[in-house]
Amino acid sequence: MERDELECFLLLAEELHFGRTADRMRLSRARVSQLVQRLERRVGAPLFVRTSRRVALTSLGRQLRADLEPHHRAIEAALERAAATARGIDAVLHAGFSNPLTGEIVMKAAEALRDSHPTLAVEICEVPLADPYGPLRQGEFDVQITELPVGEEDLDKGPALFAEERILAITSTHPLATRDTVFLEDLADVPLLTIVGNVPAYWLAHHVPTHTPSGRPIARGPGMTNMQEALMLVAGGKGALLAPAHTATYYGRPGVAYVPFADAGPTGYGLVWRAGHATGAVQAFAGTAREVAREMAQGDPRRAVPGTAPVALQGGVPSLGRRPRTRDEGVHVV
């Protein structure tokens, strides 16, 4: 039995329509008829009843379908396993996430890969805030979703996945906490917490700016190494923190207010891996993570921004046109 006969029979048994079967196989209807007739001659009896109005399986056709389907699935699975091994996907992939939102994307991507690539095991790890690229360089991670910009010469990155608006985390007793929105110029009135550790200067300058747009200096508050420590300092009035919008959802706590910015550019996120290590497993994860990120952004009305133009990357830093924003807006699909 030829493979094209097998696939044609099973597809026609599913569709019961020659035209749809031809479309799925990318063949002509005449070729589908030829394959079916050739198989029926091989079997020695009709497998389908054909009329001008309908196509139906004969009792012999139903029996053949029941016998063939499990074997066909096994063949397809065996071929997929062989192809996965050839692509380097039969492996364990260590995927990193930098915050709760990226962690959710990594988790959903891992779940999706269990179905599409059953031989690929994904182990999930958190990227330390104070050392965003160290574990990746040391081989503890194979790929990670992290905040942009990324300008490391020894690391490769894929296209941006999405961008998320920024908010100001500030003690609830500060005058800015009562505002509906804040502006970057307001940062001259409150010290910003900084990140202590192995953090690139360009990354720190983007996430913890030193001056307002008009050039006024922004005071430095205490250093911190993780989000829990940062929020403890914020609640104690030691300083404020520029944070992505999802922080208000995942880190609600007494003493901390989250106020949206009216004019700050968003935080962008992308995939990063070691240069020269874009294995089949990394590529499979990257494609799946991109689909998951898009579905999450489009499927959550609290985060998606209908009708918004795609985020443009300017010098590696995501930027959006300035406009008033509401508390319900957050993630933009790239």
Q: At 63, which amino acid appears?
A: Q
Radius of gyration of the chain from its Cα atoms, rounded to whole angstroms = 27
Q: Work out the end-to-end distance of the chain between its first and last CA atoms, rounded to an integer number of angstroms.
A: 47
Give the list of residues 6+ apart from residue 318 with CB closer than 8 angstroms, or none: 148, 160, 163, 265, 266, 267, 268, 311, 312, 334
* pLDDT at res. 87: 63
> Which segment of 13-27, 78-92, 106-120, 163-177 scores lowest on mean pLDDT?
78-92
SS3 state of residue 244: strand
The more confident residue out of 170 and 307 is 170
Which pLDDT band holds residue 197 (cuts at 50, 70, 90)?
Answer: very high
- Look at residue 152 and tell me whether its pLDDT is greater than 60: yes
Q: Which residues of 144-166 are buried (b: 16+ CB within 10 A; e: fewer)?
A: bbbbbbbebeebbbbebbbbbbb
DSSP 327: T
Burial class, 126, CB count within 10 angstroms (exposed 0-12 / middle 13-18 / buried 19+): middle
Contact call for residues 129 and 231 (beta carbons, < 8 A)? no
Q: What is the pLDDT of residue 331?
A: 45
* pLDDT beyond 90 at 76: no
With a cut of 50, say whether residue 314 has pLDDT above it: no
Burial of 301: CB neighbours in 10 Å, binned 0-12, 13-18, 19+: exposed
Cβ neighbours for 170, distance < 8 A, ≥ 6 positions apart? 176, 177, 190, 234, 240, 241, 256, 257, 259
Do 271 and 157 touch, CB atoms closer than 8 A?
A: yes
User: pLDDT (tens digit, 9 = 90+) per residue, 99-116?
Assistant: 999 999 999 999 999 888
In this structure, of 61-70, 156-165, 324-333, the range with the lowest mean pLDDT score is 324-333
For 81, other C-beta atoms within 10 Å of its C-beta total 15
At 84 the pLDDT is 65
| Domains detected in the chain | 3-86 (1.10.10.10), 92-163+267-333 (3.40.190.10), 166-260 (3.40.190.10)
Asked if 71 and 118 count as a contact pair (C-beta separation under 8 A), the reply is no
Q: HSE on the CB side for 189, CA within 13 Å? A: 11
Query: Which of 80, 64, 75 minimizes the C-alpha distance to 9?
Result: 64
Average pLDDT across the chain, whole number: 85
In sequence order, the 6+-apart residues with CB closer than 8 A to the CB of 161 are 105, 145, 269, 270, 271, 289, 290, 293, 334
Residue range 226-274, pLDDT digits in tens: 999 999 999 999 999 999 999 999 998 899 999 999 999 888 999 999 9
